[in-house]
Amino acid sequence: MKRIINLISHPRAAVIIHDLLMVVVAWFAAVWLIQSISATPFSVNLSPMTGLMLVLLLQGSVLWATGLYKGLWRFASFQDMWNIARASAFGTAAIMVILAIVQGEFVSQWIPAAVIYPALLFILLALPRMCYRFWKDSRMSIPASGKDFKRVLILGAGRSGAMLERELRRRGGFHVVGFLDDDKRLRGAQVHGVSVLGPIDRLPKIGADYQADLAIIAMPSASNQQMQRIVGICELSEIDFRTLPTLQDLGSQATNIGELKRVVIDDLLGRDPVSLEWESIRQGLVGKRVMITGGGGSIGSELCRQIARLNPVELIVVDHSEYSLYRIDHELRSDYHDLLFYSVLGDICDPATVEKVIGEYKPDVIFHAAAYKHLPILQTQVREAFRNNVFGTMRVAEAAERHGVGTFVLISTDKAVNPANIMGATKRVAEMYCQNMNARSHTCFITVRFGNVLNSNGSVVPLFQEQIAKGGPVTVTHPEISRYFMTISEASQLIMQAAVLGGGGEIYVLDMGEPVNITYLAEHLIRLAGKEPGRDIEIIYTGLRPGEKLFEQLFHELEPYEQTTHEKILLAHPRAANWDDLRSELRKAEQSVMRYDTDSIKQALVRLVPELAKSGFNTEPAKVIPIYRNK
């Protein structure tokens, strides 16, 4: 009795009862049609009730087995129609086989039944589902009353736009008044009964005519140039606007097509989605013990997330910041329950810490992301910059060689090319040391260079956003200053790709695309905050900071480069550095670091990186008069 009660209370009970009733109707209707046409009774060696129970048992079992009851009528789809067609055909076949066994032969009179019964059953099961969905969709398409609904224009009438329109109807609270799309073939067409009203550049006029409250950009595959144009049009229309997740978001996060988000600077400056050779990355990292130094930082933490998805044997994260280590530890333990994960609070400049961690965990791959990177700070902190960026790298590299680590990946920067500042010079020395270690070790030492990362800790985007939130002004160092940018996710994925491409000794340079003018960046961040540059938020120029260049370089003139098998990764041919001279200078510099002799450290840096002498170690900013930028 309890089992019967549970069956009746099953959430799909009404659907199952409906379908079994339709089986009865289809069977008796098929039998009646055959008898009417042939004027002879339907011949079966079973009583009508026994035959019906047999049909119900066989057909019901097949309907359940095809997974028909996992779906909802509200979302009936072609997959459900296919399941009904399969179940009707297979059920008919099972019924005919059992009847033939009971009868002892196959009666020719059953042939019409094998055609009529499944056709009737398909209609009786499919038609109510589609009618119910149509009714629900029609109800959802009626705009809500009062202030609880928004009139929406969807920009993009492709597949994503169609899916979004259906999602908004299902969700309620939105009334889609039309689509805008630049494809001329779609003019005058309808998507789910909603008209394509014109091209996207007519948004200001069409938005006003249709009293739109919200514009939603439904183009996940749009390039940054397309997004910049569309966002500019949205800003001119003065209509609130949102966007769907990008293809990269959909691929790397638990995100669905119906999620709306504000347009962020990543959508405008991020490049086309990166196509990675995930199979080679997986083969290079799966089943490996992976260690990440600086794992709580912007790049380090994203590397942790990406590598955790690839199921390493162990993931060891080292960071000297307790709070940063706590955050990534908590995140990984929450999101990856099966991950064997170790977090180590320690300083890479401490030989005892480095020896203990690498000696105990014996990683197969080390991603060395730990470094000081804030250029203006390091310009006056040469001792700490050298100690962390150079000697910290040396400690980890030497321990990796001693303990047989297979691959060591040094994460470097474009500021190591023709360095004009302390940060770039120390990273260049770290590169030189790793290249020489590669020639004298079984460990493969690989260097990866890239430029600025959007929204990384201490970068220009969070600074501008903070200044905008306070009402300005936004401070830019020079009207012509530009930088290369990529997203944190893209940088981390390309680092992993480079790690499995290299055989040792390479300097890989990530293709950073076109440089971005920082004034342009500031203006877009102001507009994305709903304000107008010059009117609501002013931009002032404060002068170049010590050691700051107007333009960054990705390659040195003495480092010819070539294309690799991956279109976004270039190979620079490194300059040779004499090992004996390098070691001699580093021994002297180590003594200077211990004595806190900053003048000697500067002299050592100039000898190691002669390009640095051109900068003169300026500590005063360039003399640029602050300008009020009126737009």
User: Would you tell me the crossing angle of helices 579-595 and 422-439 to the nearest 10 degrees?
Assistant: 130
CA pair distance 591, 386, nearest whole angstrom: 12
Structure confidence at residue 629 as a pLDDT band (50, 70, 90): very low
Structure confidence at residue 136 as a pLDDT band (50, 70, 90): low
Whether 276 maps to a domain, the answer reads: no
Lateral strand order in the sheet of 194-198: 190-191, 194-198, 174-180, 150-155, 214-217, 240-243
Instruction: Give the pLDDT confidence score for residue 255 in this predicted structure.
Output: 37
Segment among 39-53, 167-181, 329-343, 438-452 with least mean pLDDT? 39-53
Query: Are 116 and 204 in a shared domain?
Result: no
Residues 386-436: pLDDT tens digits?
999 999 999 999 999 999 999 999 999 888 888 888 998 999 999 999 989
CA pair distance 344, 330, nearest whole angstrom: 13
Query: Are 413 and 560 in a shared domain?
Result: yes
Query: Are 377 and 523 in a shared domain?
Result: yes
Query: ∠ CA(277), CA(282), CA(288), 5° rounding?
Result: 150
Instruction: Give the pLDDT confidence score for residue 247 in this predicted structure.
Output: 46
User: Which of 140, 165, 180 is the last residue before a domain boundary?
Assistant: 140
Query: Is the confidence at residue 6, as pLDDT, over 60?
Result: no
Domain count within the chain: 3
Peptide bond connecting 533 to the previous residue in cis, omega within 30 degrees of 0: no
Query: Are 403 and 498 in a shared domain?
Result: yes
Q: How far is CA 553 from CA 424, 532, 557, in A?
A: 11, 32, 10
Whether 591 maps to a domain, the answer reads: no
- Dig out the tokens for 288 from the structure: 């490996």
Q: Which domain holds residue 351?
A: 283-455+482-535+553-576
Nearest to 569 by CA among 513, 514, 509: 509
Identify which of 144-148, 352-356, 456-460, 570-574 has the greatest average pLDDT: 352-356
User: Which residues does 439 contact at the CB level (< 8 Å), separation at least 6?
Assistant: 505, 579
Residues 14-23: pLDDT tens digits?
777 888 888 8
Q: How far is CA 305 from the centre of its chain?
A: 11
Query: Are 115 and 219 in a shared domain?
Result: no
Residues 325-343: pLDDT tens digits?
999 999 999 888 888 889 9
Query: Are 300 and 381 in a shared domain?
Result: yes
Under DSSP, the state recorded for 146 is: T
Query: Is the confidence at residue 519, as pLDDT, over 70?
Result: yes
Instruction: Measure the CA dihedral 177/183/184/190, to 10°.
Output: -40
Structure confidence at residue 587 as a pLDDT band (50, 70, 90): very high
Task: Say which CATH number the domain at 158 has.
Answer: 3.40.50.720
Whether 605 maps to a domain, the answer reads: no
Whether 594 maps to a domain, the answer reads: no
Query: Is the confidence at residue 631, as pLDDT, over 50?
Result: no
Query: Are 184 and 222 in a shared domain?
Result: yes
Query: Are 38 and 186 in a shared domain?
Result: no
User: Which residues does 322 contact at the CB level (< 8 Å), separation at least 6?
Assistant: 345
Whether 269 maps to a domain, the answer reads: no
Residues 73-124: pLDDT tens digits?
555 566 777 778 888 888 888 888 887 777 666 666 667 777 788 888 888 8
Question: Taking the model in full, what pTM does it have?
Answer: 0.64
Which position has the token pair 């480095």?
Answer: 354
Residue 562 backbone dihedrals phi, psi, to 5 degrees: -145, 165
Ordered alpha helix ranges (H), 460-612: 460-469, 488-501, 518-528, 579-595, 598-608
Residues 203-221: pLDDT tens digits?
988 888 888 888 888 887 7
Residues 181-201: pLDDT tens digits?
888 887 777 777 788 888 888
Residues 241-262: pLDDT tens digits?
888 765 444 444 433 444 566 6
8 A C-beta contact, residue 16 and residue 73: no
Query: Are 384 and 516 in a shared domain?
Result: yes
Query: Is the confidence at residue 46, as pLDDT, over 70?
Result: no
How many CB atoms are closer than 10 A to CB 106? 14
Query: ∠ CA(67), CA(68), CA(71), 5° rounding?
Result: 100
Query: Are 372 and 410 in a shared domain?
Result: yes
Instruction: Give the pLDDT confidence score for residue 264 in this predicted structure.
Output: 67
Query: Are 125 and 37 in a shared domain?
Result: yes
Query: Is the confidence at residue 554, as pLDDT, over 80?
Result: no
Whether 585 maps to a domain, the answer reads: no
Identify which of 185-194, 271-280, 514-523 has the greatest average pLDDT: 514-523
Query: Are 133 and 232 in a shared domain?
Result: no
CA pair distance 398, 466, nearest whole angstrom: 41
Instruction: Give the pLDDT confidence score for residue 573 in this predicted structure.
Output: 74
Q: When comparing pLDDT for 72 and 449, which is higher? A: 449
Whether 540 maps to a domain, the answer reads: no
Whether 590 maps to a domain, the answer reads: no
